[in-house]
């Protein structure tokens, strides 16, 4: 239940809103469709507008009946800034940049300064730090230690376990494989993120169950109401690839005869749950959202990026499409829901050194957030929406390019050798990014002005040659709106996100709020079958 402002604060809030509307009109009067006059009056008015907006904000201290956690994989601050400019919103903001509460998260893992995606996902979803390449286990489990991962005292519950105990529905959607690093931390306990199917598990670790089987056979995986993404080759054996849907060479490929999609369906039939499996745009669009369980597997590996996906009936859905379907399915639960949405291909594009692809995926991620805000508008006062990243990438915005130059363009010429360089660069990169060559016994750099740097497949130059662009260890931002969003206010451990979700929604380890929430969970929670 939200707190009510006092008469004096309510009056001040109303006055602020009126002044804000007047200032908006004044600023609009100085603008034309093509040009904004950025004179001193423009900046003074803009400053006043921001102050009034801050003064008008009211803290929502109510219960978060619904929680949506958006994770932009690899979406560091430089990626957000570049995407804002790329989306031609430099003066404006991306959807989540309008959220009133912002904090900073420290992303190191239990054993590394620079983390990977499953250790950080474990921190975000469980509130406990993990070692590199491990999911759903604590620091006592190191990579490949199957035996340690089987010990109950070393495994940890995710927020999905907490939500189910409170009678809430749960779901996740991702543009990666549903067994990939980030989503695996929601339901799996593994000492190696690569054990997505049996093909990658060594003989000395045969006692450990692969991630795909944990999703379908174990708790909390089999009770997740909505699952959408790729990864068919981990769920089914010997699947065949095509030009439109190739086999993913970066992932394992099941050969043990499994059909976990059929097993998922059989489990729901046995338990008398209404359910549906969808595998393309047409089938997803046909869902009536009365199902208690929805499984969408749209690709053998990761989904296609937004700029290349087939938008026709037999193609793959966008992150926006999947997010919309998930919310419509989950919001029918009277006790609320918990949804995780991952923009996973931001990271995929960065790893391969294609900055424009990463920016395009960030804008697609932003589209999904916009749709979530639209769908939950009527329940905004009871819906906590959090947007963050698991880690950053070494994308830098450098040089002194004019604001009229595209973010993917040339910054200026080097004052050392006279060769131009682009505004966007990488600290590390693969062979396509390492653009140095020997010229008359000296090292020279490729001239980017001789190619189209705005091409979607252009690989930005990198300083250090590695196999691919490596992760970066700087802090990331967290943006929040809704009940208890003001708890994000400073520099926090990455684990703090899970603890805020727990406290705000009255579930899990931080659920002990003095508002009677735990004792007032509706009778629906007590009588639900799932």
Q: How far apart are CA 190 and CA 185, in angstroms?
A: 9
Does residue 473 form part of some domain?
no
Peptide bond into 220 cis (omega under 30): yes
In residues, how long is the chain? Answer: 530
Does residue 24 form part of some domain?
no
Task: Looking at the structure, tell me whether residues 433 and 286 fall in a common domain.
Answer: no
Task: Looking at the structure, tell me whether residues 418 and 383 fall in a common domain.
Answer: no
The per-residue pLDDT for 90 is 56
Q: How far apart are CA 81 and CA 315, in angstroms?
A: 31
56 is catalytic: no
Does residue 51 form part of some domain?
no
For residue 349, give the CATH number of its domain: 3.40.720.10
Q: How far apart are CA 243 and CA 234, in angstroms?
A: 19
pTM: 0.91
Q: 78, 109, 117, 119: which one is catalytic?
A: 117
DSSP state of 394: -
Task: Looking at the structure, tell me whether residues 433 and 358 fall in a common domain.
Answer: no
Q: How far apart are CA 128 and CA 135, in angstroms?
A: 11
Task: Looking at the structure, tell me whether residues 71 and 176 fall in a common domain.
Answer: yes
Number of domains in the chain: 2
The per-residue pLDDT for 515 is 55
Instruction: Show Cβ contacts of residue 191 under 8 Å, excluding neighbours closer than 6 positions.
Output: 133, 134, 137, 141, 142, 143, 144, 145, 146, 148, 149, 205, 208
Phi-psi region of 62 (alpha: psi -120 to 50; beta: other; left: phi over 0): beta
Does residue 15 form part of some domain?
no
Does residue 48 form part of some domain?
no
For residues 67, 68, 69 and 75, what is the CA-based torsion angle, rounded to 10 degrees?
-150
Cα-trace Rg, the chain: 24
Task: Looking at the structure, tell me whether residues 295 and 405 fall in a common domain.
Answer: no
Task: Looking at the structure, tell me whether residues 246 and 201 fall in a common domain.
Answer: yes
Task: Looking at the structure, tell me whether residues 333 and 453 fall in a common domain.
Answer: no
Task: Looking at the structure, tell me whether residues 441 and 504 fall in a common domain.
Answer: no
Task: Looking at the structure, tell me whether residues 208 and 338 fall in a common domain.
Answer: yes
Residue-level pLDDT, tens digit, the chain, 530 residues: 444 444 445 555 555 555 555 555 554 444 444 457 899 999 999 999 999 999 999 999 999 999 999 999 999 999 999 999 999 865 679 999 999 999 999 999 999 999 999 999 999 999 999 999 999 999 999 999 999 999 999 999 999 999 999 999 999 999 999 999 999 999 999 999 999 999 999 999 999 999 999 999 999 999 999 999 999 999 999 999 999 999 999 999 999 999 999 999 999 999 999 999 999 999 999 999 999 999 999 999 999 999 999 999 999 999 999 999 999 999 999 999 999 999 999 999 999 999 999 999 999 999 999 999 999 999 999 999 999 999 999 999 999 999 999 999 999 999 999 999 999 999 999 999 999 998 888 889 999 999 999 999 999 999 999 999 999 999 999 999 999 999 999 999 999 999 999 999 999 999 986 554 444 444 344 444 43
The per-residue pLDDT for 147 is 98
Task: Looking at the structure, tell me whether residues 341 and 219 fall in a common domain.
Answer: yes
Does residue 474 form part of some domain?
no
Task: Looking at the structure, tell me whether residues 226 and 279 fall in a common domain.
Answer: yes
Work out the angle at residue 343's Cα, subtended by the Cα atoms of residues 341 and 349, and round it to the nearest 5 degrees. 165
Task: Looking at the structure, tell me whether residues 180 and 270 fall in a common domain.
Answer: yes
Q: How many Cα neighbours within 13 Å face the side chain of 417?
A: 11
Range of the domain at 438: 396-465
107-122 pLDDT, tens digit per residue, is 999 999 999 999 999 9
Q: How far apart are CA 22 and CA 29, in angstroms?
A: 11
Residue ending a domain, choose from 465, 496, 513: 465
Does residue 20 form part of some domain?
no
Does residue 529 form part of some domain?
no
The per-residue pLDDT for 275 is 98
Pick from 350, 243, 249: nearest CA to 302: 249
Q: How far apart are CA 333 and CA 211, in angstroms?
A: 28
Q: What is the DSSP string of 483-501?
A: TTGGG--SEEETTHHHHHH
């Amino acid at each position: 239940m939200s707190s009510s402002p006092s008469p004096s604060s309510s009056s001040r809030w109303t006055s602020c809103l009126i002044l804000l509307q007047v200032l908006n009109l004044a600023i609009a009067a100085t603008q034309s469709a093509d040009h904004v006059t950025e004179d001193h009056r423009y900046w003074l008015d803009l400053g006043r507008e921001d102050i009034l907006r801050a003064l008008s904000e009211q803290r929502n201290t109510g219960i978060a009946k619904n929680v949506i956690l958006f994770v932009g994989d690899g979406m560091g601050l430089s990626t957000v800034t570049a995407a804002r400019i790329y989306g031609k919103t430099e003066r404006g903001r991306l959807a989540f940049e309008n959220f009133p509460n912002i904090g900073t998260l420290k992303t190191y893992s239990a054993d590394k300064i620079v983390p990977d995606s499953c250790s950080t996902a474990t921190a975000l979803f469980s509130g406990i730090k993990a070692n590199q390449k491990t999911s759903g286990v604590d620091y006592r489990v190191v990579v490949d230690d199957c035996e340690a991962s089987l010990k109950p005292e070393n495994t940890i519950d995710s927020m999905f376990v907490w939500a189910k105990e409170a009678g809430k529905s749960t779901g996740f959607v991702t543009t990666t494989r549903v067994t990939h690093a980030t989503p695996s931390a929601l339901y799996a306990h593994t000492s190696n993120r690569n054990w997505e199917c049996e093909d990658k598990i060594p003989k000395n670790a045969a006692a450990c169950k692969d991630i795909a089987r944990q999703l379908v056979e174990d708790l909390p995986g089999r009770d997740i109401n909505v699952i959408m993404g790729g990864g068919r080759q981990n769920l089914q054996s010997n699947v065949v690839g095509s030009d439109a849907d190739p086999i993913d060479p970066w992932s394992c490929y099941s050969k043990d005869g499994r059909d976990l999609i059929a097993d998922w369906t059989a489990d729901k039939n046995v338990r008398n749950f209404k359910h549906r499996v969808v595998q393309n745009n047409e089938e997803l669009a046909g869902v009536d959202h009365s199902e208690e369980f929805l499984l969408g597997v749209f690709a053998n590996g990761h989904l296609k990026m937004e700029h290349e996906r087939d938008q026709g009936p037999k193609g793959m859905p966008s992150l926006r499409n999947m997010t919309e379907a998930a919310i419509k399915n989950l919001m029918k639960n009277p006790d609320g829901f918990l949804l995780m949405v991952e923009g996973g291909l931001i990271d995929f594009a960065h790893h391969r050194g294609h900055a424009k692809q990463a920016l395009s995926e960030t804008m697609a991620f932003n589209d999904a957030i916009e749709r979530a805000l639209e769908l939950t508008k009527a329940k905004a006062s009871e819906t906590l929406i959090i947007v963050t990243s698991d880690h950053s990438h070494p994308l830098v915005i450098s040089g002194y390019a004019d604001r009229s130059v595209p973010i993917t363009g040339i910054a200026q010429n080097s004052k050392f050798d006279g060769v131009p360089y682009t505004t966007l660069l990488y600290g590390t990169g693969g062979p396509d990014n390492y653009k140095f060559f020997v010229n008359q016994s000296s090292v020279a750099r490729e001239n980017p002005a001789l190619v189209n740097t705005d091409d979607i497949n252009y690989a930005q130059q990198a300083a250090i040659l590695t196999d691919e662009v490596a992760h970066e260890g700087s802090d990331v931002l967290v943006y929040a709106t809704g009940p208890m969003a003001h708890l994000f206010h400073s520099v926090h451990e990455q684990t703090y996100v899970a603890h805020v979700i727990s406290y705000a929604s009255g579930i899990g380890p931080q659920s002990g709020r003095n508002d009677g929430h735990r004792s007032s969970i509706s009778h629906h929670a007590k009588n639900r079958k799932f």
